[in-house]
Amino acid sequence: MIAAVLVATLVQSRFIISLLNYSLVYVILALGLQLIVGVTGQLSLGHAAFYGIGAYASAIATTRFGMPWVVGILLAMAFATLGSLLMSLTVRTRGIYFAVATLAFGIIIHLVFVNWVPVTRGTMGILGLERRLWGQWRIDSPQGYFLFLAFVVCAVYVFLARLTDSRFGRALKAIRENELAAQSIGIDVTRYKIKSILIGGATAGLAGSMMAHLTRMVTPEPFGWWKSIVLLIMIVAGGLGSMPGAAVGAFVLTLLSEYFRGYAEYSMLAYGLIIVFFMIYLPEGLAGLWHIIIQKVRWGGRRAVW
Amino acid sequence: MSLAIIINGLVVGCIYSLIALGFSMIFKASGLTNFAHGESVTIGALLGFTVLKVTGLPFGLSLVLVFILSGLLGILIEKLAYRPIRVKNAPEINGVISSVGMILILANGAMLVWGAEPLAYPASIGGSLFQILGMTVSSYSLWILAITALLMVVLQVFLNRTMLGKSMRAVADSMLLARLTGIKVDRIISLTFGLGAAFGGVAGVLFAPIYYASFDIGVIGLKSFAAAILGGYGNMAGAVTGGLLLGVVEAVGSTTISSVYKDAIAYGILIMILLLKPSGLFGHEVGRRA
Amino acid sequence: MAILEAAGVSKSFGGLMVLRGVSLTLHEGELRGLIGPNGAGKTTFFNILTGVLSADSGRINFDGQDIGSYPIHQRARRGLIRTFQIPQPFSGMTVLESTMTGTHMYYRAEVWSSVLRTRKEREEEEEARAKAKEILRFVGLADRENALCANLPVGEQRLLELARALAAQPRLLLLDEPTAGLRASEKEALKEVLLEVNKKTTILLVEHDMRVVMSLCSRISVLSYGELIAEGTPEEIQRDPKVIQAYLGEGAIAT
Ligand SMILES: Nc1ncnc2c1ncn2[C@@H]1O[C@H](COP(=O)(O)OP(=O)(O)OP(=O)(O)O)[C@@H](O)[C@H]1O
Ligand SMILES: [Mg+2]
Task: Say whether both C80 and C97 belong to one domain.
Answer: no
pLDDT in tens, A231-275: 998 999 899 899 999 999 999 988 888 777 777 778 888 888 888
Q: Examine residue A170 and state whether it is found in any structural domain, yes or no.
A: yes
Query: B: neighbours with 3+ CB pairs under 8 Å?
Result: A
The CATH number for A94's domain is 1.10.3470
Minimal Cα–Cα distance from C78 to chain A, Å?
Answer: 9
One digit per residue, the tens of pLDDT, for chain C of length 255 reads: 799 999 999 999 988 999 999 999 999 999 999 999 999 999 999 999 999 999 999 999 999 899 999 999 999 999 999 999 999 999 999 999 999 999 999 998 899 999 999 999 999 999 999 999 999 999 999 999 999 999 999 889 999 999 999 999 999 999 999 998 888 998 999 999 999 999 999 999 999 999 999 999 999 999 999 999 999 999 999 888 888 888 765 555 444
Position C165 in a domain: no
Three-state DSSP class for C2? Answer: strand
A178 to C100: CB separation less than 8 angstroms, yes or no: no
**Cβ within 8 Å, pair C81-A166:** no
C243 shares a domain with C185:
yes
Closest Cα in chain B, distance from residue A19 (Å): 23
Position A143 confidence tier, pLDDT thresholds 50, 70, 90: confident
pTM: predicted TM-score of the whole model, two decimal places: 0.89
Residue B205, pLDDT score = 92
Find out whether C197 and C166 touch, Cβ atoms under 8 Å.
yes
Burial of B169 (0-12, 13-18, 19+ CB in 10 A): middle
Query: Same domain for C112 and C83?
Result: no
DSSP conformational letter for C36: -
Are C98 and C85 contained in the same domain? Answer: no
Cα separation, B125 vs B59, in Å, equals 8
> What is the position in ligand 1's atom list of the atom closest to the CA of C223?
21
Q: Does residue C79 sit in the same domain as residue C182?
A: yes
What mean pLDDT do residues A129-133 have? 79
Q: Is the CB of C33 under 6 A from ligand 1?
A: no
Percent of chain A scored above 90 by pLDDT? Answer: 52
Are C168 and A180 in contact (CB < 8 Å)?
A: no
Per the document, the length of chain A is: 306
Q: Would the CB of C17 count as within 6 Å of ligand 1?
A: no
Expressed in angstroms and rounded, the spacing between residue C43 Cα and the centre of ligand 1 is 7
Nearest to C115 among A159, A184, A305 (CB): A159
Give me the residues of A, 141-200, that contact B with CB < 8 A.
none
**Nearest residue of chain A to residue B111 (CA atoms):** A265
User: Would the CB of C140 count as within 6 Å of ligand 1?
Assistant: no
Which residue from A minimizes the CA distance to B90?
Answer: A283
Nearest-Cα distance to chain C for A61, in Å, is 27
**Nearest CA owner, ligand 1 atom 5:** C13
Q: How far is the CA of C158 from the centre of ligand 2 (A)?
A: 14
CB contacts, 8 Å: A178 with chain C:
88-91
What's the gap between Cα A138 and its chain centre? 25
Task: Judge whether A305 lies within some domain.
Answer: no
Chain A residues touching residue B107 (CB < 8 angstroms) = 268
What integer pLDDT is reported at residue B7 of this predicted model? 86
Does C103 contact ligand 1 (Cβ within 6 A)?
no
**Same domain for C131 and C67?**
no
Number of domains composing chain C: 2
Residues in chain B, total? 290
Residue C246 Cβ < 6 Å to ligand 1: no
Low-confidence ranges of chain B (pLDDT < 50): 285-290
- Best of B271, B273, B276 to disrupt the A interface (most A CBs within 10 Å) is B271
Whether C254 is covered by a domain: the verdict is: no
Picking from A45, A103, A265, the nearest residue to B108 by CB comes out as A265
Q: Which of C9, C42, C56, C247 to mutate to test the pocket of ligand 1 (most atoms within 8 A of CB)?
A: C42
CATH number, domain containing residue C229 = 3.40.50.300
C121 assigned to some structural domain: yes
Pair C132, C230 in one domain: no
Query: Residue C253 domain-assigned?
Result: no
Domain limits for position C223: 2-89+170-248
The answer as to whether A190 is a domain residue is yes
Within an 8 Å CB–CB cutoff, is residue A161 touching chain C? no
Q: How confident is the model at residue A3 (pLDDT cuts 50, 70, 90)?
A: low
Quick one: pLDDT at residue B167?
A: 86
Rounded to the nearest angstrom, the distance between the alpha carbon of C182 and the centre of ligand 1 is 22
Q: Which ligand is nearest to the CA of C83?
A: 2
| Of the partner residues B108, B225, B270, the one whose CB lies closest to the CB of residue A268 | B108
Residue B72 within a domain? yes
Q: Is the same domain home to C174 and C239?
A: yes
Is C36's C-beta closer than 6 angstroms to any atom of ligand 1? yes
CA of B73 to the centre of ligand 2 (A): 45
Range of the domain at A239: 2-299
Q: Among B81, B104, B260, whose Cβ lies nearest the Cβ of A269?
A: B104
Q: How many domains does chain B have?
A: 1
Minimum Cα–Cα distance from A186: chain C residue: C73
Are C81 and C126 in a shared domain? Answer: no
pLDDT of residue A9: 64
Domain membership flag for residue A306 = no
Assigned domain for B290 exists: no
The ipTM of this complex is 0.91
Selecting from A41, A266, A275 the residue whose C-beta is nearest the C-beta of B98 gives A275
**pLDDT reading at A303 higher than 50:** no
Domain count, chain A: 1
**Contacts of residue A171 in chain C, CB cutoff 8 Å?**
101, 104
Q: How many CB atoms lie within 10 A of CB C31?
A: 22
Instruction: For residue A230, give how far its alpha carbon lies from the nearest alpha carbon of chain B (Å).
Output: 9
* Cβ of residue A100 closer than 8 Å to a chain B Cβ: yes
Same domain? For C117 and C234 the reply is no
The answer as to whether B225 is a domain residue is no
Using H for helix, E for strand and C for coil, what is the string for chain B?
CCHHHHHHHHHHHHHHHHHHHHHHHHHHHHCCCCCCHHHHHHHHHHHHHHHHHHHCCCHHHHHHHHHHHHHHHHHHHHHHHHHHHHCCCCCHHHHHHHHHHHHHHHHHHHHHHHCCCCECCCHHHHCCEEEECCEEEEHHHHHHHHHHHHHHHHHHHHHHHCHHHHHHHHHHHCHHHHHHCCCCHHHHHHHHHHHHHHHHHHHHHHHHHHCCECCCHHHHHHHHHHHHHHHCCCCHHHHHHHHHHHHHHHHHHHHHCCCCCHHHHHHHHHHHHHHHCCCCCCCCCCCCCC
Cβ <8 Å between A268 and B107: yes
Q: Are residues C187 and C214 in the same domain?
A: yes
Interface of C with A (CB under 8 A): 50, 52, 71-73, 76-77, 81-82, 84, 88-93, 97, 100-102, 104-105, 107, 109-111, 114-115, 117, 121, 124-125, 128, 148, 151, 164-165, 167-168
Mean pLDDT value across chain A: 87
Tell me the nearest-neighbour CA distance from B268 into chain A, angstroms: 7
Please name the member of B100, B222, B260 whose beta carbon is closest to the beta carbon of A232: B100
Q: What is the pLDDT of residue B286?
A: 41
User: How many angstroms separate the Cα of A170 from the Cα of each of B73, B243, C157?
Assistant: 43, 42, 19
- Mean pLDDT of the A274-290 span: 85
Q: What are the phi and psi torsion angles at B135 (to 5°)?
A: -115, 155
Which amino acid residue places its CA nearest to atom 9 of ligand 1?
Answer: C44
CB atoms C82 and A184 under 8 Å: yes
Establish if B267 belongs to a structural domain: no
Same domain, C67 and C117: no
Tell me which residue in B93, B116, B271 faces A43 most closely, judged by beta carbons: B93
Q: Is C39 in the pocket of ligand 1 (CB under 6 A)?
A: yes
Identify from B104, B222, B263, B273 which residue to disrupt to test chain A contact, counting A C-beta atoms within 10 A and taking the largest count. B104
* Protein residue with its CA nearest to atom 31 in ligand 1: C39
Q: Which atom of ligand 1 is nearest to the CA of C226?
A: 14
- Show the 3-state SS of B136-189: EEEHHHHHHHHHHHHHHHHHHHHHHHCHHHHHHHHHHHCHHHHHHCCCCHHHHH
